[in-house]
Amino acid sequence: MPTDVERWKSEVYGNEIREHLYEFAEEGWESIPEDEHDAWFERFKWWGLYHQRNGQESYFMMRIGTPNGVLEPGQLRVVGEIADEYARGPGTNPIFGDAYADWTTRQSIQLHWIRIEDVPEIFEKLEENGMSTQQACGDSWRNIVGNPVAGKDAQEVVDAWPVIHELNETFKGDEDHSNLPRKWKVSVTGSADGSGQGDINDLAFEPAYKEVDGEEQVGFNVRVGGGLARNEERFARDIDVWVPPENVSDVAGGLSALFRDNGDRENRYNARIKFLVDEWGPEKVRNTLQEEYVDFELETAGRDVREEYTYNAGNGGRNDLIGVHEQKDGNYFVGLNVLVGRMGADDVLELADIAEEYGSGEVRLSQRQNVIVTDVPEEDLDALLEEDLLDHYSPDPSPFMRGSVACTGTEFCSLSIVETKNRQVRYARWLKENVDLPDDIDQFHIHLSGCTASCAQPQIADISLRGMKTRKDGEPVEALDIGLGGGLGEEPEFARWVTQRVPVDEVPGAISNLIGRFAENREDGENFREFVGRHDDDELDEYVEPEETDYEDPMMHNTKMTWYPYSDDDDMDSSPAPAYPDDTPMSADD
């Protein structure tokens, strides 16, 4: 039997949702029939809207897709203006204030406290400036990711930006690919550093060389079936296909259609292509693609450059894109660390000013939740680096700051079990002040995910943190599982979950003790992943050693059961939601 979601989609889905969305916007939140909330909220995702969690009724998160993280000149300013005008709600975040934008691990943008009544005006402003929320969520093509400086990176093997642009223009809004069994995540990278993180995507195009008609050409090898969610991690599998840039769209469309026609629509848990690859194997995927979905002879896989992959690998080299880097045209791009990916609206607007003053006005977003100012002439670098804003968004941050990634958490997400963003900020600041890494370790990744959905990509971090609950001194408290040794690179590995349910206030002490044992016991030149790899789980569990320190966590209680974790009065009965567009609470009679 089809799932409820499949039934809802069969009634209304895709582009036609927009008309209904506008009708609800005109008539107001209360016009959405209460007994149809689940159906409409599921459909709204296709247009980039997620309803926020219990206690925040009538407020939405809006996701804006930015293919490959590219914000063209002027677009960052538009994001800041929308955040400032529309993304303000009844709750104030003690660290980030009243209005802010989140940069995501898929190079997208998220805004919170959005009211449905404001959606048409926001859409109009976005679309006037070449931006959209279309298919930013939902069972369709998601935001295409890759090396954010594609087309500019001096280390590129092949320019992936024209390919990404073509894929976005072809498949966003295409009715034939708008209703898939589940989400469809695509990575395209032309860089030799592996910054597209293709291994953890449903479909990955990675740079490779192939001799065709006696001449060596550069194109892409194809991998299928990667993903992290729900404790069912998979690295994408090689299907023995090489494709030239001009044929990427045909192969991508063929594999999307293969998933559309053969993915599981009766069990949403199994409705990802990674499970189809498990069932069929890579060879059958290739054969079916060849026989049923493309009309030209597929080439076998070419010579890849995976031995050069350093991004998020922990082995030195370019592990991220923070700092000053030369472009192929002689200008520079400057990667700025945005701790846990959140930037206040005022800072977004100031960054737009800086990008226009020192560069082309273009800004790009990375999968590590950071921002990159591009096209900076060498003679303007010093002045850019002296800007006050860079005191807070540093191009040379502490390893604990540059390595911190966090998902949305219980602040807004109904799936999350624990608070995340403010907590990871506090963790990073405490670690910076209290813990020393060995002198030759300048990057260290700590990812905090509020649940097993893995939006913070915890399985590919040196230290992985995942939301749980436990009891301490007889009281229920928020807790984290701790995993170790994840990362990508030439030989990607998922983290091993070695310690469970550590009370959140004991996690910084646990990390401190672990890093101390690493410093004392590492072999010459050994990185953290290698250190983890030569110890068994029991030894690592002993090394973790949770401990109370002078770190204090203000959100030990069950923030999932609050209306807003940072409110002085955060119990559900104190929620002002649902609310009218002016934030006036709606009475039960309405």
* 581 inside domain: no
pLDDT in tens, 331-355: 999 999 999 999 999 999 999 999 9
Regarding whether 526 and 411 lie in a shared domain, the answer is: yes
Regarding whether 285 and 157 lie in a shared domain, the answer is: yes
The domain of 457 spans 402-557
Regarding whether 156 and 304 lie in a shared domain, the answer is: yes
Q: Which of 60, 53, 58 is nearest to 414 (CA)?
A: 53
Give me the pLDDT at residue 314, please: 82
Regarding whether 292 and 162 lie in a shared domain, the answer is: yes
Regarding whether 117 and 11 lie in a shared domain, the answer is: yes
The residue out of 344, 368, 397 marking a domain boundary is 397
Regarding whether 165 and 297 lie in a shared domain, the answer is: yes
pLDDT in tens, 32-82: 999 999 999 999 999 999 999 999 999 999 999 999 999 999 999 999 999
* 353 inside domain: yes
* 62 inside domain: yes
* 140 inside domain: no
Give the count of domains, the chain: 4
Regarding whether 80 and 191 lie in a shared domain, the answer is: no
The residue out of 397, 413, 441 marking a domain boundary is 397
- The pTM of this model reads 0.97
Q: Using 50, 70 and 90 to split pLDDT, how confident is the model at 231?
A: confident
One-character DSSP codes across 292-325: II-SSPPBPP-EE-GGG--TT-SSSS-SS--EEE
Do 373 and 333 contact (CB within 8 A), yes or no?
yes
Task: List strand residue ranges (DSSP E) for 140-285, in order.
Answer: 186-188, 203-212, 215-224, 237-243
* 166 inside domain: yes
Regarding whether 545 and 412 lie in a shared domain, the answer is: yes
CA atoms within 13 A on the CB side of 62: 27
The residue out of 397, 417, 432 marking a domain boundary is 397
* 39 inside domain: yes
Residue type, position 459, single letter? Q
pLDDT in tens, 82-119: 999 999 999 999 999 999 999 999 999 999 999 999 99
pLDDT in tens, 449-473: 999 999 999 999 999 999 999 999 9
Q: What distance in Å separates the CA atoms of residue 77 and residue 74, rounded to the nearest whole number?
A: 5
Name the DSSP letter for residue 6: H
What CATH number is attached to the domain comprising 46? 3.90.480.20
What CATH number is attached to the domain comprising 514? 3.30.413.10
pLDDT in tens, 428-446: 999 999 999 999 999 999 9
Give me the pLDDT at residue 588, please: 61
Regarding whether 480 and 542 lie in a shared domain, the answer is: yes
* 135 inside domain: no
Which has more confidence, 589 or 79?
79
